[in-house]
Structure 1
Amino acid sequence: MFNVRKIIKLIFIPAILISAFVAYEVLSYYDFFSDEVTIRNNVLSSYLLPDDDFKSVYKAQLNFDDMPVSEVSNVTFNILSDHNIKNVPVLLKAQRYYIPVSYISKKLGYTDLNTDQLCSLQNNSTKILISSNSFTKNNITGSLRGNLLYKDNEPYISISDIEEIFNLFAVFNFQTNSISLLSSDVKAPKEIPLQDNQDIALFRFEDFACGDSNLVDKNQTKVKIMASYLYSQGIKFHIGWIPRFKAPVDNIDNDLLENNNITNVGFINILDYLLNKGCEIGLHGYTHQHGDERSAVGEEMSKTVNSDEKSTRQVIEKGIDTASALNIPISFYESPHYRDTPFQQKIIGEYFRYVYEPYDNSKKNIYKTKSGNLFVPTPLGFVENGSSASITNGLASNDPEVLKSFFYHPSIEVDYIDFNTNNDKLNYTLKDDSPMKTIVKSIKDNNCATIHVDELKKSNK
């Protein structure tokens, strides 16, 4: 006679053990046992956060230092009250215009005390030291976005670095091929320390490329105004950057490494300005399209597009090379339309620790793979048909399972901004019903702390 109990033990106990083992392996791979990310002892804290030891498998093959330098003519400048200045020596490197340090310092009332490989400038109240790749102003140090160039032993400085060092605002006019350096009253916000148990929020501008809306000089200025506003409010944010804009049907292929013009110089000036105002930049594909599709509309990674290993790696590496050549630091990757397959995601994870997208649509919070990659979703959605309700409602929610992370397209915001350059100053108004202003108010009303994705790592404190 059979022993029923023994049979049950022989069959079901191994089955239960196998099921538990499989479940554990799956869950531990994605670390679903982790606590939510919180703020404890005034720093980000979670079992989820990885050590800061990630190494990319790829070293960029194009570098900023190796980019060619050329002379540019016919650029007109307006520097504060001095208008229509012609014949200023201008150099071009990596879509940045440079003018002599001695020229701009004299225009701004500084005494030039240059020494070997070091620019020393001084006026009645300010002392500035500029080295090859950094500057110190009244004991505050920063990095140059363009680094110094030398021609005939004369140091040249980029327009982006002039803006940052001398607290000016550059407005480009593509029709007149001119640049106005205007007075700016954008000041650094008062630092507010993180508070224990404060919710975190992540803010990203999407589909940002030198095409469509950003081909218009006034819109480029408006994007910089957005950055000024967010900076003044102490809001950290991100840009999902498409490095190469293509629209084959319209015969457009704007490769920033090939097409040297004032429009592209203005665009890189935007990226520099965003970085200086609290933005982090990541790759949103390379062209965000394939075939005859238009950038930001088409696909670039999916089960049918660039689906093999070689093609996937080429898309990623071309973006990295472009960023390196243009000296644009990148901290995350985001696949176009989140259409990448698990196979493509695994390859992306070899290049980037932070993948600013959900692993799949069911995931609404940060999670970590066994390899240490963090996938950061945007479950609060985006501004759609002019409404930011899904974002503001999500920011007001107390659901710990849903990350307060969202995105929207900056081209939406330009209709809410007006500006002029009266009195040689940038003057702007931002309408009260603008999506950005509405979202910032909600962030503050709900006591959220905005962070960058690369802050999601273990603190040394």
Structure 2
Amino acid sequence: MLEGGVKMRWLALLVLAALGVVSLAWLINIERGGGVGVALAGEKLALVRLEDVSVWYALQENGLDVLRDLADFFHSEGIPFHISLIPVFKDPSRGIELGIGDLHDPRVRAFNDTLKYMVERGGVVGLHGYTHQCGNEVSAAGFEFARFGEYSRPSYAAVRVKAALELVHKVGIPVTYWETPHYTASAAQYQEFARYFSIIYEPDPDDKRAKKIAVVKGLGGRKAVYFIPAPLGMITRDSDVPRLLSRVDRRRPELASFFYHPFMEYQHSLKTGDCAVFHLDRPNGYLRTLVRELKARGYRFLRVDELVREIEQGGHQGLYYSSWLEEEVLLQ
């Protein structure tokens, strides 16, 4: 029989061991995306964003099939993904202006149904401007804010954000973040964006090369606004995949965040009137390859709002920096 002091020491060791097992299970659960709490320090995270998604896809012969096919891919991999939506597509030279609120048009209704399908498959929608253009520019090619004259005014930004929000609310599309077209707006316009969004899915406006998340306090009157960058940039060609993976292998970033235009995933041909036909049986496969290679390297894909929640709970402390908005900007 053990003496009293020795017995107590053994009991204490057993309790500590049990606590260790519980703690390890708790951390593993968080690492796999379950439970609530602070995520593991130094955990490797990944974000993927589908860029410039608009009614343009419904104007192509099978553009909506492209969006649905990619949504099915992400769902099959168990990966959340982001959809930067341009609510109104404009091509002034061709007399086209068609938005998600034009429900009399069957192409719009089909596009909206596709968006909702993507959300059901794990998609997270954000607003990417209102038209992502100005003047005679085509949507997605042009700037929208901070160009000249009225386009640089905060009142102009406020009107566009409200108009975009009205459209997504009208058709029942939930939105989680804002992304400024071409990451370009004035300081006063970012104030307006922040009044409606605490997550802005782009780099710190004061440092567009920033690879860490900027937590800006006071912007738009908010306690905190999160600027989340995509430091791996954009995939545009086959050679981008090994280049980005080589960068990941050399630098081992905690955040592997990138964006991609969905139409790039498939070879295509053009019909009369520049209508594209995408060959889903002939994929380029850039996106699929990069996603699977990042998973193989231990990266966990997550939503931007999930990432923000983990930061607010004290996780990923080496992944972000905080700053206060300067008083002169607040007074603009």
Q: Is the 8 A contact 2:209 2:231 kept in 1?
A: no
Describe the shift of the 1:460–1:405 C-alpha distance in structure 2 as closer, same or farther (beyond 3 A). Answer: closer
| Partners of 1:302 and 1:220 in 2: CA distance | 32
Spell out, residue by residue over 1:179-210, the C-alpha distance to the aligned partner (whole angstroms, 9 max, x if none). Answer: xxxxxxxxxxxx77598443011100001100
Larger-gyration structure (1/2): 1
Report the AA paired with residue 229 of structure 2: P
Helix, strand or coil at the partner of 2:267: helix
Describe the shift of the 1:214–1:391 C-alpha distance in structure 2 as closer, same or farther (beyond 3 A). Answer: farther
Question: Which residue of the other structure, out of 221, 245, 249, is the alignment partner of 1:396?
Answer: 249
* Residue pairs, 1:194-213, within 5 angstroms: 196=40, 197-211=42-56, 213=57
Which residue is 2:60 aligned to? 216
Q: Is the 8 A contact 1:388 1:439 kept in 2?
A: no
Report the AA paired with residue 375 of structure 1: F
Report the AA paired with residue 294 of structure 1: V
Which residue is 1:378 aligned to? 230
Which residue is 1:367 aligned to? 214
* Residue pairs, 1:18-417, within 5 angstroms: 41-42=27-28, 196=40, 197-211=42-56, 213-258=57-102, 260-304=104-148, 306-359=151-204, 360-371=207-218, 372-389=224-241, 390-400=243-253, 403-415=255-267
Q: Is the 8 A contact 1:249 1:292 kept in 2?
A: yes
| Partners of 1:193 and 1:256 in 2: CA distance | 35
| Partners of 1:265 and 1:367 in 2: CA distance | 37
In structure 1, the gaps of 5 or more residues are 1-39, 46-190, 417-427
Question: Which residue of the other structure, out of 286, 291, 299, is the alignment partner of 1:440?
Answer: 291
Alpha-carbon deviation of 1:246? 0.5
Higher strand share: 1
Describe the shift of the 1:429–1:443 C-alpha distance in structure 2 as closer, same or farther (beyond 3 A). Answer: farther
Describe the shift of the 1:231–1:397 C-alpha distance in structure 2 as closer, same or farther (beyond 3 A). Answer: farther
Report the AA paired with residue 279 of structure 1: G
In structure 2, the gaps of 5 or more residues are 1-25, 219-223, 269-279, 316-332
| Partners of 2:135 and 2:157 in 1: CA distance | 15
Spell out, residue by residue over 1:385-429, the C-alpha distance to the aligned partner (whole angstroms, 9 max, x if none). Answer: 3443343334434444x731110100111328xxxxxxxxxxx75
| Partners of 1:340 and 1:297 in 2: CA distance | 16
Count of aligned positions: 263
Spell out, residue by residue over 1:300-357, the C-alpha distance to the aligned partner (whole angstroms, 9 max, x if none). Answer: 1125262112101011111111110010000000000001122211221111000000
| Partners of 2:250 and 2:49 in 1: CA distance | 19
Describe the shift of the 1:340–1:386 C-alpha distance in structure 2 as closer, same or farther (beyond 3 A). Answer: farther
Alpha-carbon deviation of 1:226? 0.8
Which residue is 2:304 aligned to? 453
Which residue is 1:129 aligned to? none
Describe the shift of the 1:439–1:302 C-alpha distance in structure 2 as closer, same or farther (beyond 3 A). Answer: same
| Partners of 1:244 and 1:369 in 2: CA distance | 29
Helix, strand or coil at the partner of 2:132: coil
| Partners of 1:223 and 1:308 in 2: CA distance | 34
Alpha-carbon deviation of 1:443? 1.6
| Partners of 2:105 and 2:114 in 1: CA distance | 15
| Partners of 2:154 and 2:29 in 1: CA distance | 39
Q: TM-score, normalised by structure 2?
A: 0.72
Spell out, residue by residue over 1:103-157, the C-alpha distance to the aligned partner (whole angstroms, 9 max, x if none). Answer: xxxxxxxxxxxxxxxxxxxxxxxxxxxxxxxxxxxxxxxxxxxxxxxxxxxxxxx
Alpha-carbon deviation of 1:430? 6.7
| Partners of 2:303 and 2:251 in 1: CA distance | 21
| Partners of 2:263 and 2:173 in 1: CA distance | 21
Identical-residue share of aligned pairs (%):
29
Alpha-carbon deviation of 1:263? 1.2
Alpha-carbon deviation of 1:229? 0.9
4+ residue segments displaced more than 6 Å: none
Q: Is the 8 A contact 1:382 1:391 kept in 2?
A: no
User: RCO higher in 1 or 2 (8 Å CA, sep ≥ 6)?
Assistant: 2
Q: Is the 8 A contact 1:313 1:347 kept in 2?
A: yes
Alpha-carbon deviation of 1:379? 1.1
| Partners of 1:272 and 1:382 in 2: CA distance | 25
Report the AA paired with residue 383 of structure 1: I
Q: TM-score, normalised by structure 1?
A: 0.53
